[in-house]
Amino acid sequence: MSSTSVQLRGLTVLDLASVGPAARASRILADYGATVIKVGPTSAKGSVQIRPPYYSYGAGRGMKRVQIDLKADEGKAVFSRLAAKADVIIESFRPGVAARIGVGYEDVKAVNEKIVYCSTSGYGQDGPYSAWAGHDLNYLAVGGFLHCSGRRASGAPAIPGATVADSAAGGMQAVIAILAAIVQRDAAGVGAYLDVSVAEGVVQLMSLHVDRYLATGEEPGPGGDILTGRYACYDAYQARDGKWLTVAAIEPAFFANLCKALELEQWIPHQMDDARQDEIRAAFSEAFAKRDRDEWVAELAPGNACVAPVSTIAELADDPQFVARGVFANAEHAQHGAFRQVGPVLAGGEREQPVYKVREDTATDTDELLAMAGYGDDEIARLRDAGVVE
């Protein structure tokens, strides 16, 4: 089943990745209507690729699937035929690997000059870190995100609750770059090679802090400014029931509203008074501890005080705001039954989705895709028998 969104309909994407930033990017492109073809290894070669849980990355919603032995010459020929008809290729091999196995940018460009070829990697295709292995936490560390985040009791940086680097610094960066390259291709008739560095994406996310340091020499860190916990008006507080709520009353008017609601008007003139922050935090903590979280949220959130609950995943799954806006879609798996998943939630995506029937991990669209690439039935059967495709 293809996406019901239409913005990218007609765009064909070959995705060589199974997890990480590249898989995030192809998920977004598929949700906007692109035909995404997941290119995985044959089962004999499957140990080299991570197979995510059935529910991950939208459970393959709206995507097609082909399995090819890219180490075989005939397998590379199959990939080349598919690439000749594609608009975009996304890969996340270690730098140099795609070229070494014969599916790199120059290989594809030889059969498709207008291809937009996107390589996602931790640190980029060159530079002294390019060969480093890594994951989300490493990129957040080297890009300054962890240093500016809160600390655990031990003094160690807190582990983020989301894969910010993979999702925003990598996946969304790749989508932005791909769409910009498509606009350029359509205007000038030229393809592009995109070198997406997740670590550099983190630097971009941290640009407010980085630019401050580069311009002033002031080094940001946890508690260094209003956005990293310097002031009581931008913090989290525990309510009577042990649950937490957030306060982000940056503007003086919002801070005044909060103080009045808490009957702490005496602190209104001292919002940015560094010498009084411990006192203000103590006063806020004492006030919030008198009532349950949801009582405070019901009163303060509609009252222009910039208050919101710290929701658990279970709570947000039934949050009336997200439910009302159609954030979740329905899916069904033959073995695991019915379940909900995050739908095409980014702006412009079609949120009214039919129930998605999740396919078995072994199901592919190989015959259909190879036929579209010009292979006959006999050729496809021979490639299957030889273990080149599945």
Closest CA to 384 of 372, 366, 368: 366
CB of 73 closer than 8 Å to CB of 50: no
pLDDT of residue 362: 83
Side by side, which strands form the sheet with 307-309?
A: 234-238, 244-248, 307-309
* This prediction's pTM: 0.92
The CATH class for the domain spanning 12-205+359-385 reads alpha beta
Q: What is the dihedral of CA 193, 198, 203, 205, to 10 degrees?
A: 100
Active site residue 166: yes
Determine which one of 15, 87, 136, 166 is catalytic: 166
Q: CA 324, CA 336: separation in Å to the nearest integer?
A: 26
Determine which one of 126, 135, 211, 241 is catalytic: 135
Structure tokens at 159: 């582990």
**Could you please report the per-residue DSSP string of 250-270?**
-SHHHHHHHHHHTT-GGGGGG
For 254-264, the pLDDT digits (tens) are 999 999 999 99
Per-residue DSSP letter, 359: P
Q: Which residues of the chain have pLDDT under 70?
A: 1-3, 45-49
What does each C-alpha distance from 27 to 56, 119, 160, 259, 276 come to in angstroms? 10, 16, 22, 43, 47
> From the CB of residue 83, how many other CB atoms can be counted at a distance below 10 Å?
23
Per-residue DSSP letter, 156: P
Q: Where are the alpha helices (DSSP H) in 189-276?
A: 198-205, 207-216, 252-261
Structure tokens at 209: 């802090």
Q: CA 176, CA 291: separation in Å to the nearest integer?
A: 44
Task: Tell me the Cα Rg of the chain.
Answer: 25
DSSP-derived pairing of the beta strands 328-333 and 307-309: unpaired
> From the CB of residue 320, how many other CB atoms can be counted at a distance below 10 Å?
7
* Sequence spans of domains, the chain: 12-205+359-385, 226-238+244-309
Which residues, listed in sequence order, are joined to residue 307 by a DSSP beta bridge? 247
Question: In sequence order, what are the residues at sequence separation of 6 or more whose Cβ sits closer than 8 angstroms to the Cβ of residue 357?
Answer: 1, 331, 332
> CATH assignment of 226-238+244-309, given 3.30.1540.10, 3.30.360.30, 3.40.50.2300, 3.30.390.30?
3.30.1540.10
Q: What is the dihedral of CA 39, 44, 50, 54, to 10 degrees?
A: 80
> From the CB of residue 37, how many other CB atoms can be counted at a distance below 10 Å?
22
What does each C-alpha distance from 260 to 249, 254, 300, 380 come to in angstroms? 13, 10, 10, 73
